[in-house]
Amino acid sequence: MGRETPKQQQQQQQQVSYTVEQLVAVNPYNPDILPDLENYVNEQVSSQTYSLDANLCLLRLYQFEPERMSTQIVARILVKALMAMPAPDFSLCLFLIPERLQMEEQFKTLIVLSHYLETGRFRQFWDEAAKSRHIVEAVPGFEQAIQTYAIHVLSLTYQKIPRPVLAEAINIEGLSLDKFLEHQAANSGWILEKGHGRGQLIILPRNEFNHPELKKSAADSVPLEHITRIFPILG
Amino acid sequence: MATNYDYEEAPANYDETHRQDLGYDPNFVPDSVKSFVGHLYRHIREKNVYEIHQMYEISFQTLSDRLFKDTPWPSVDAVAHYVDNDQVFCLLYREMWFRHLYARLSPTLKQRIDSWDNYCSLFQVVLHRVVNMQLPNQWLWDMVDEFVYQFQSFCQYRAKMKNKSEQEIALLRQYDQAWNVYGVLNYLQAFVEKSNIMQILEQEKEGLEQFTATDGYDYSGGSNVLKVLGYFSMVGLLRVHCLLGDYQTGLKCLLPIDISQQGVYTSVIGSHITTIYHYGFANLMLRRYVEAIREFNKILLYIYKTKQFHQKSPQYEQILKKNEQMYALLAICLSLCPQVKLVEETVNSQLREKYGEKMARMQRYDDEAFAIYDELFSYACPKFITPSAPSFEEPLVNYNQDAYRLQLKLFLYEVKQQQLLSGVRTFLKVYSTISLGKLANYMEVDEPTLRTILLTYKHKTHAVDSDGKIISNADVDFYIDDDMIHVVESKPVKRYGDYFLRQVVKLEGVINDMDRIKLE
Task: With CB atoms and an 8 Å threshold, state whether A96 touches B245.
Answer: yes
Question: CA B200 → CA A227, B212, B232, B233, distances in Å?
Answer: 22, 10, 14, 14
Q: Which one-letter amino acid corresponds to residue B498? A: D
Q: What is the pLDDT of residue B151?
A: 97
The answer to whether the CB atoms of A157 and B247 lie below 8 A apart is no
Q: Which of B92, B101, B64 is nearest to B314 (CA)?
A: B64
B456 CB neighbours in chain A (<8 A) are: 118-120
Q: What angle do CA B184, B188, B192 make, to 5 degrees?
A: 165
In angstroms, the Cα distances linking A112 to A40, A89, A127, B333, B472 are 26, 15, 12, 25, 26
For residue A205, list chain B residues with Cβ-Cβ distance below 8 A: none
Cβ-based contacts of B406 with chain A (< 8 Å): 95, 98-99
- For chain B, say whether A93 makes contact (Cβ under 8 Å): no
CB of B211 closer than 8 Å to CB of B264: yes
Report the chain A residue with the minimal C-alpha distance to residue B184.
A29
Q: Which of B248, B459, B497 is opposite residue A56, by nearest beta carbon? A: B248
What would the pLDDT profile of A147-183 be if each residue is shown by its tens digit? 999 999 999 999 999 999 999 999 999 999 999 999 9
Contact between B164 and B394 under an 8 Å Cβ cutoff? The reply is no
A24 phi and psi angles, rounded to 5 deg: -65, -35
Q: Is B472 helix (H, G, I), strand (E, B) or coil?
A: strand
pLDDT of the residue at A9: 56
CB contact under 8 A, A88 and B185: no
**Nearest CA distance, A186 vs chain B (angstrom):** 22
Rounded-to-5 percentages of helix, strand, coil across chain B = 65, 5, 30
Contact residues, chain A, for B189 at CB < 8 Å: 28-29
Q: How far is B203 from chain A (nearest CA, A)?
A: 15
Assigned fold of B412-487: Arc Repressor Mutant, subunit A (1.10.10)
> Which residue type, as a one-letter code, is found at position A62?
Y
Distance from CA of A39 to the nearest CA of B (A): 21
Angstrom distances, CA of residue B223 to CA of B129, B235, B265? 12, 21, 18
How many residue pairs from chains A and B have C-beta atoms closer than 8 A? 152
Please report the pLDDT score of residue B23 as a whole number: 65
Supply the pLDDT for residue A17: 54
The answer to whether residues A209 and A199 touch, using CB atoms and an 8 Å cutoff, is no
Question: Which of A85, A91, A125 would you mutate first to test chain B, the one with the most B CBs within 10 A?
Answer: A91
d(CA B204, CA A20): 30
Cβ-defined contact of A86 to B477 (cutoff 8 Å) = no
Q: How many CB atoms lie within 10 A of CB A174?
A: 8
How many angstroms separate the CA of residue A52 from the nearest CA in chain B? 9
Residue A196 has a pLDDT of 59
Residue in chain B lying closest to A68 (CA): B388
Query: How high is the pLDDT of residue A6?
Result: 55
Residue B185 with chain A: CB contacts under 8 Å: 29
- Contact assignment for B246 to A56 by CB distance below 8 Å: yes
- Which positions in chain A touch B448 (Cβ < 8 Å)? 123
CB A109 within 8 A of CB A128: yes
Residue in chain A lying closest to B509 (CA): A233
Q: How far apart are CA B246 and CA A39, in angstroms?
A: 21
How many Å lie between the alpha carbon of B479 and the closest alpha carbon of chain A?
5
Please state, in angstroms and rounded to a whole number, the distance separating the CA atoms of residues B330 and B39: 45
A96 contact B CB<8A: yes
Q: Is A53 on the interface with B (CB under 8 A)?
A: yes
CA distances from B141 to B145, B163, B178, B283 (A): 6, 34, 22, 23
Give which of B174, B143, B145, B169 is closest to B158, Cα–Cα: B169
What is the H or E stretch that residue A160 is in?
A: strand A158-162
Which residue in A53, A65, A156 is closest to B462 by CB distance?
A156
Residue among A88, A119, A195 whose CB faces B464 most closely: A88
The b/e string for B471-498 (b: 16+ C-beta within 10 A; e otherwise) is ebbbbbbbbbebbbbbbbebeeeeeeee
- Closest chain A residue by Cα to residue B407: A95
Among A52, A122, A230, beta carbon nearest to B248: A52
Judged by DSSP in three states, B259 sits in: coil
Question: Which three-class secondary structure state does DSSP give residue A38?
Answer: helix
pTM (2 d.p.): 0.89
pLDDT in tens, A49-95: 999 999 999 999 999 999 999 999 999 999 999 999 999 999 999 99
pLDDT, tens digit, for every residue of A110-136? 999 999 999 999 999 999 999 998 887
Would you state the pLDDT for residue A18? 58
Q: Cβ B185–A29 below 8 Å, yes or no?
A: yes
Cis amide bond preceding A86, omega within 30: yes
- Determine whether the interchain pair A95/B406 forms a contact, defined as Cβ–Cβ distance below 8 Å: yes
pLDDT at B422: 80
Say if A175 is an interface residue toward chain B (CB within 8 Å).
Answer: no
Give the number of other CB atoms < 10 A from CB of residue B262. 12
| Cβ pair A88:B287 closer than 8 A | yes
Q: Cβ–Cβ of A233/B504 closer than 8 Å?
A: yes
Dump pLDDT digits (tens) for A23-48.
898 899 999 999 999 999 999 999 99
> How many CB atoms neighbour CB B61 within 10 A?
14
> Looking at the complex, does the CB of residue A91 fall below 8 Å from at least one CB of chain B?
yes
Residues belonging to chain B: 520
d(CA A146, CA A121) in angstroms, rounded, equals 12
Rg of chain A taking only CA atoms, in angstroms: 22
Q: Between A5 and B349, name the one with better pLDDT.
A: B349
pLDDT 10s digit of each residue in chain B, 520 long? 233 333 333 343 443 334 444 568 889 999 999 999 999 999 999 999 999 999 999 999 999 999 999 899 999 999 999 999 999 999 999 999 999 999 999 999 999 999 999 999 999 999 998 888 999 999 999 999 999 999 999 999 999 988 888 889 999 999 999 999 999 999 999 999 999 999 999 999 888 888 998 999 988 888 999 999 999 999 999 999 999 999 999 999 999 999 998 999 999 999 999 999 999 999 999 999 999 999 999 999 999 999 899 888 888 999 999 999 999 999 999 999 988 788 999 999 999 999 999 999 998 888 899 999 999 999 999 999 999 988 887 778 888 899 999 999 999 999 999 887 888 888 898 899 999 999 999 999 999 999 999 999 999 999 898 888 898 888 888 999 988 999 987 665 566 777 787 788 888 888 888 888 866 5
Residue A187 in this model has a pLDDT that exceeds 50: yes
A54 vs B: CB within 8 A: no
- Angstrom distance (rounded) from CA A80 to CA A89: 9
